[in-house]
Amino acid sequence: MKTRIFVGFIVMMFVFVTPLSANGKVDIQKYFNDTANKVKATENAAEKREILNESFQNLSKALEKVENMGLVSNENRDVFDQFKNNLQEKQDELAGNNGYERIPDSQLNNFSNYVVQDMEQALSISLVALLLIIILVILLI
């Protein structure tokens, strides 16, 4: 009887978590797309940089909160760290820090598109679905 309940519980988790994880991934992709759209709608290069930088900082803060809450398992630690490092590289590239050449003002729209594509790919490949939902919740708070 306990085995049947356990198997039923596992099946229910897959039934409910799969749609939630897909929605979480779509919402985070929307977050990046919205940022790119704001960048493209802005004429001033300094404002474009500020929009991108603020987006990176918000996501970094959300990732820190997730990490501090102890929600990253040992199995997901490498993936989580890769995602954080990827985000930091984008911030460095935008600002021209840590050996990266600063993105020219004329390339900020292209850079925002690149960030969207790169982060979407990173999300598709690396992060666990439940972690995506948690990050989304923290970003929206």
CA distances from residue 36 to 31, 33, 40, 45 in whole angstroms, order as listed: 9, 5, 6, 13
Q: What is the pLDDT of residue 133?
A: 59
pLDDT, one tens digit for every residue, the chain (141 residues): 544 443 333 333 444 444 434 455 567 778 888 999 999 999 999 999 999 999 999 988 888 887 888 877 777 777 778 888 988 999 999 999 999 999 999 999 999 999 888 877 776 655 555 566 567 667 766
The end-to-end CA distance of the chain, in Å, is: 42
d(CA 55, CA 69): 21
Whole-model pTM: value is 0.70
For the record, the structure tokens of 34 come out as 């919205």
